[in-house]
Amino acid sequence: MCAAIYAARNGAKVTIIEKNTVLGKKLSMTGNGRCNLTNLDMREECYNIAARGRMKEWLSTYGVEDVISFFKSLGVVVKSEDGYIYPVSGQASTVVRALENEISRLGIEVVYGQQLKGVSAEDEGVYEVKTDKDSFTCDAVILAVGSLSGAKSTMSTGDGYYICKKLGMNVKDTYPALVGFKCDPQEQMPKAGVRITADISFVLGKETLAREQGELQLTADGISGIPVMQASRDVIRFVEEKKPVYAVIDFFPDYDDKDFESLKADMLKLKDDRTLEEFLQGFSNSNITEMVLSRMKLSKSMKMKNISSSMAECILDNYRALRLKIDESYGYMASQVTTGGVSLGDIGSDFAYKKAPGIFCIGELVDVDGRCGGYNLQWAFTSGSIAGTAASL
């Protein structure tokens, strides 16, 4: 939609071919329905390693302020929440409507319910776009067909990867990212869901693959929440390759080692005739405590005076470094982005395919993925605006 608007504003006659019955289905679901458009803390490090070298140039061509001005030009007022940019309306649907209004104002034709099947180069600079129902001739094609991530209704079936491979592009292996993980079924998880601030590291042998802090969600079968999603981009490949990846959770992220030792020493002073349950009552979330004790096969009615100091310390240490074996991710449908896709080596700085400069690849189809927090929509708008303008020249 963004690419179409930029191309049409630059004088091109534009047609959008949309497989769905509506435009912007995924966009309308972003940010929990509030649409986190971009982020004031915009740095190339917020994107995958393969993209970082080129992100600086792209973001300096079309950055955060450009996204904000673009939406201002559509009448969408935005606000910052700690640097996270949202529409003031608090409704992603208003963003979609504003884009649709501009599309119709610019006279862009929208063909609904047709699935792009392939693109072929005809004569010099002429391309044929084939759908399941029709074919179109044009002098530039922008492939903006997204990825494999998102609910069924978003129609994210990864068609673009197949189409691009047929055109000779190198497509990097794809994995779901910004996603939660199921834990090994042998792991004892909390019976009721828990949301708690924690520090989480993902380790493979001695290597730490990723480390994040924030509100963690533990459920009966796995872990999710923002810190897990952020870390997932660096962890997913190893999980998919069935490597033994563990999550190590610290429920006391604000305590350094010295503070935690002194906290433990204070706790051990309470080793009297109270029960284990009473001892741990105010130490952490009760569902976490239940989980820790059942994993250690300890009864909560045990008297603290009958538990050795080293065992009591060991119980407390579990809250500092609880290890959970990761089994698999919750999959593409539960993920917010797909990592992998069309290799950046195949596209120029204006997103044109190097072997056929009238074909452009943008958005999530390309091997670029960002952290959670507006970085993926920024990428869609950055690549869309640059390609839209270039395609219209």
Ligand X SMILES: Cc1cc2nc3c(=O)[nH]c(=O)nc-3n(C[C@H](O)[C@H](O)[C@H](O)COP(=O)(O)OP(=O)(O)OC[C@H]3O[C@@H](n4cnc5c(N)ncnc54)[C@H](O)[C@@H]3O)c2cc1C
Nearest to 37 by CA among 81, 102, 101: 81
Work out which of 6, 7, 8, 19 binds ligand X, going by CB under 6 A: 19
**The length of the chain, given as a count of residues:** 393
Among 222, 341, 363, 388, binds ligand X (CB under 6 A): 363
The residue among 141, 143, 102 whose CA lies nearest residue 19 is: 143
Q: Say how far apart CA 248 and CA 211 lie, in whole Å.
A: 9
The single residue among 36, 329, 382, 389 that binds ligand X, judged by CB under 6 A, is: 36
Tokens of 197: 């601030």
**How many residues bind ligand X, per CB under 6 A?**
33
Q: Structure tokens of 104?
A: 């119709």
Minimum Å distance from CB 171 to ligand X?
15
- Please tell me whether residue 30 binds ligand X under the rule CB under 6 A: yes
- Starting at the earlier edge strand, list the strands of the sheet with 141-143: 141-143, 356-361, 352-353
Supply the Cα-derived Rg of the chain in whole angstroms: 25
Task: State which residue, 25 or 264, has the beta carbon closest to ligand X.
Answer: 25
The answer to whether 144 contacts ligand X (rule: CB under 6 A) is yes
29 binds ligand X (CB under 6 A): yes
Report in angstroms how near the CB of residue 353 gets to ligand X at its nearest.
16
Q: Which of 48, 376, 382, 389 binds ligand X (CB under 6 A)?
A: 376
Cβ-based nearer residue to ligand X, 156 or 224: 156
User: Residue 380 interacts with ligand X (CB under 6 A)?
Assistant: yes
State the DSSP string of 32-81. HHT---EESS--GGGB-HHHHHHHHHHHHHS-HHHHHHHHHHTT--EEEE
Nearer residue to ligand X within complex by CB, 7 or 324: 7
Q: Is residue 159 at the binding interface for ligand X, with CB under 6 A as the rule?
A: yes
The residue among 70 and 246 lying less far from ligand X, judged by its C-beta, is 70
**Could you say whether residue 225 binds ligand X (CB under 6 A)?**
no
Joined tokens for residue 149:
């991530």
φ, ψ of residue 134 to 5 degrees: the values are -155, 180
What's the closest the beta carbon of residue 306 comes to ligand X, in angstroms?
Answer: 50
Give me 196's structure tokens.
């708690």
Whichever of 236 and 322 has its CB closer to ligand X, that residue is 236
**Whole-number minimum distance, CB 23 to ligand X, in Å?**
6
Can you tell me which of 12, 18, 68, 340 binds ligand X, judged by CB under 6 A?
A: 18
Residues in 104-123 that interact with ligand X by CB under 6 A: 115-116
Is residue 145 part of the contact set for ligand X (CB under 6 A)?
Answer: yes
> Is residue 150 a contact residue for ligand X (CB under 6 A)?
yes
Provide the 10 A C-beta neighbour count for residue 135: 11
**Cα separation of 294 and 290, whole Å?**
6
Among 48, 94, 156, 230, binds ligand X (CB under 6 A): 156
DSSP code of residue 366 = B
From residue 171, alpha-carbon distances to 144, 331, 342 in Å are 15, 20, 4
Location of structure tokens 């004031």? 40
Stretch that binds ligand X, among 121-129, 320-328, 343-351, 368-376 (CB under 6 A): 368-376
Q: Compute the CA torsion angle 272, 277, 283, 285 (nearest 10 deg).
A: 180
Binding positions for ligand X, rule: CB under 6 A: 17-20, 25-27, 29-31, 35-36, 115-116, 144-146, 149-150, 154-156, 159, 336-337, 363-365, 374-377, 380
